[in-house]
Structure 1
Amino acid sequence: MKLQTEKKITAALWATACLSSPAAMADPQKLTVALYGGNWGEAFIKCVAEPFTKATGIAVASEVGTSTVTLAKLQQQKSSPTIDVAWMDGGISEMAHAAGVVADLDAAAIPNLKNVQDKALYSDAGHTFAVSSGFYSLGLTYNTKEIPEAPTSWKDLWKPEYAGAIALPSPANSSGVPFVFFMADVWGIDRSNLDAVYSKLGALDTALFFDSSGAATNAFQSGEAIIGAHFNVGAWDLIDKGAPIGFTIPKEGAWATDARLHLIKGAKNPKAGEQFINTALTKEAASCLAGKLYLGPAVKDVEVAEDVARKLPWGVGGSIDSLRLFDWAQINAQRSKVTDDWNRKVTAKN
């Protein structure tokens, strides 16, 4: 499945390159962009890469992978990066900044930064290291044939009738570690001692702990999983395709984060990278991503169709202020320990 996805994205990128003018085609310059696979990558290409290539004549080459994989590559390539621009999720973004692999975003070189919501710009000590290209939420996803009525609580995952058919994120996914903290809040467990959370998660009879959004989508699509956590992006994509899937925000709520753009420190094509990020921050790109992925726009005053609005992470009438966002400094400080504990106390029991 991964091979098919990469072939599909590669084909799309060749199509992107073909949009160049004859003069631009003679220019061997290209931009390497790290992005996600599946429908995420397809949308990033359609909404950002293709308009960028059409406007500049610079071809875009993809580096497909999850946020954690991208960060690992950037750390390995720190002295001579091959990636110019990277999409990475909240949390991993802060880790990339701490690792010194991302460059500052210059407002003079990326004028569309001024069009972005304040909460969608990420700075540390006066250095802006990332900008959001849209927000998404992790809600409860379920098979409507097997579960006719929408579950109302995250605690419903522990119902015996769902044993063996539950999908949850693993720490290898950017949502996995924050999901542990979120479950602590759901059960009223002190975040300073997560043992009770591990006991509860370890007691679940799961179908899979997914490393990528695509793996979760495949599990729900095949019927391997009938209930579990999934992003509004992946769930609504299945629903739109006619799959018997429902997506709901339980009474305890859902946490949210975003897909962020970064300029890589020491990149070979920094000027082109800035132009690419600037293209991603137009109203047109934000509206396109909202329509294709149901990402909540980070750009101000973006209008979307009514059917799209209800599928955004904040729902009809909501906004970025409606989202429950995490303190990534707190989570990242415990990320390594949570991952180790998860492997010993959750994965080992399943």
Structure 2
Amino acid sequence: MKKWGSILQVSFTYVGTVVGAGFATGQEILQFFTRYGGMATLTIGLATALFVWLGIKLMLISSDLGAKSYEDLNNLLFGRRIGNWVSLFTLVTLFGVCTVMLAGAGSVFKEQLHLPYQAGLVITLLLAFLLLTKGMEAIMAANSIVVPLMAFFSVLIVWDTWNAPGSFNWIELDAGSSPQRVWFAPLLYAAFNLTMAQGVLVPLGAQIKDRFVLRWGGILGGVWIGCMLMAGHFALAAQMPDIARFEIPMAQIVHRLGPVLQMAFILVIYGEIFTTLLSDVYGLALQLEQRTRLKYKLIVPLILIVAYAVSQIGFKTLLASLYPLFGMLSMAWMVMMIWHRRGPERPT
């Protein structure tokens, strides 16, 4: 039972790292899947397979290496010279996602809670700082609360949409896009999110030596991500094309469930944004600690302060511009992960 508890914690941490602002609000699902119509059902399956396979592989390699941060993994995949540049790119990418998470938190406060945008940023920064001082344990604990709640709402949304007028849009919707764009989208999505997830999955794999726990944590986490993607696509497709005009479309869908559940879902969205922010700042701080002589406890507040300044650009603008670019640049990393051959496994 203790081992399966550890498996659930690993899977929760995996899911919570991937399911951030864009995913939880529905923007990511719209941009990479639902906009391409009924074919999204198949492309979500492809993305899920990549999350399971490469998530497991990433954690097992990190366990073998005893990696301190994702820089050790990149040096293994690319060699030290190229790996240093890849790690630098990953550092910039992680920082960009941190700003997206902060901006997403501000958008939740402004659009859904009718509170000042800046209040959302400041409160999120303070909470993040308090938990990040506790390290990986706090990240895993936060995800163990937020991820099951998000899964509950995914089931609730599917149930509510089941008999809606557009409930068959998830397989019938025709977006008229070229096959190349349709099938490239899940590769971009998986590449970007796996590159970002290494910030937490690498130190997680290094800390947890049990290969059985890492393997099944990767399986459950990857499948969980896929099921939540499918649930989001099912609900969003039923409301297309009108739903695409909202900055937080999933909140509009939950609106039909009543004010209490709507408010609870908004808090869950905020929780998913927050846990991804924790994961990204943590991974970024570990790499900077490895590259510089600065201490972790000094690096964390510096990252949060600079991210606050950049997040003033806004949520949707950042999401639309950063995610596709970082996804394409992450393709090289994913290709190297696929090609890398691991050595003999140690016994469980």
- Structure richer in strand, relative to its length: 1
Q: Normalising by structure 2, what TM-score?
A: 0.27
Q: Which has the higher contact order (CA 8 A, sep 6+)?
A: 2
Q: Normalising by structure 1, what TM-score?
A: 0.27
Give the number of the structure whose alpha-carbon radius of gyration is greater.
Answer: 1
- Structure richer in helix, relative to its length: 2
